[in-house]
């Protein structure tokens, strides 16, 4: 029963992440097609950051890269519209956050399964 719950939560997380990616890419192509390649690259980097790094490190990477990207895009002379700048600033933190949130939900479900074990469920290693 608990393993099916873990699989279900993993599938729901995957569905949410894929839906968010699809919606984001649709609106990027609709509104600002000139930044579509950069958006795809930021999505891939965000998904890798959220999936591979621990939550604390992921949070610091998101904060640092968003600050650096905001400084470059908003303070520099980049010839793209304000809407494109906002999309580029928002894609990485949102995708990394969704992936980290999905990973923490599935790992919390997996951790709750091992908590339910009692001492009688663990095989004895002592001999008489």
* Domains identified in the chain, total number: 1
Kindly report, residue by residue over 86-113, the tens digit of the pLDDT. Answer: 888 888 898 888 888 776 655 554 444 4
In a domain, 91, yes or no: yes
> CB 63: neighbour CB atoms within 10 A?
11
In a domain, 35, yes or no: yes
Residue located via tokens 């091992």: 114
In a domain, 16, yes or no: yes
Mean pLDDT of the chain: 78
pLDDT, greater one: 29 or 109? 29
> CB 21: neighbour CB atoms within 10 A?
19
Phi, psi of 81 (to 5 degrees): -70, 165
Q: What domain range is 83 assigned to?
A: 2-111
Residue 82: which of 19, 117, 31, 12 has the closest Cα?
31
Question: How does residue 33 score in pLDDT terms, banded at 50, 70 and 90?
Answer: confident
In a domain, 127, yes or no: no
Question: How does residue 1 score in pLDDT terms, banded at 50, 70 and 90?
Answer: low
In a domain, 121, yes or no: no
Give yes or no for a contact between 99 and 46, defined as CB atoms under 8 angstroms apart. Answer: yes
In a domain, 118, yes or no: no
């Amino acid at each position: 029963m608990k393993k099916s719950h873990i699989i279900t939560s993993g599938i729901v997380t995957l569905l949410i992440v894929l839906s968010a990616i699809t919606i984001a890419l649709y609106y990027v192509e609709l509104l600002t097609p000139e930044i579509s390649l950069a958006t795809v690259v930021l999505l891939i980097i965000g998904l890798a950051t959220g999936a591979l790094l621990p939550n604390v490190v992921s949070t610091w990477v998101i904060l640092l890269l968003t600050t650096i990207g905001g400084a470059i895009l908003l303070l520099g002379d980049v010839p793209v519209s304000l809407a494109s700048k906002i999309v580029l600033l928002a894609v990485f933190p949102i995708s990394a956050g969704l992936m980290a949130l999905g990973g923490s939900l599935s790992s919390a479900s997996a951790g709750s399964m091992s908590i339910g074990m009692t001492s009688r469920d663990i095989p004895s290693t002592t001999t008489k």
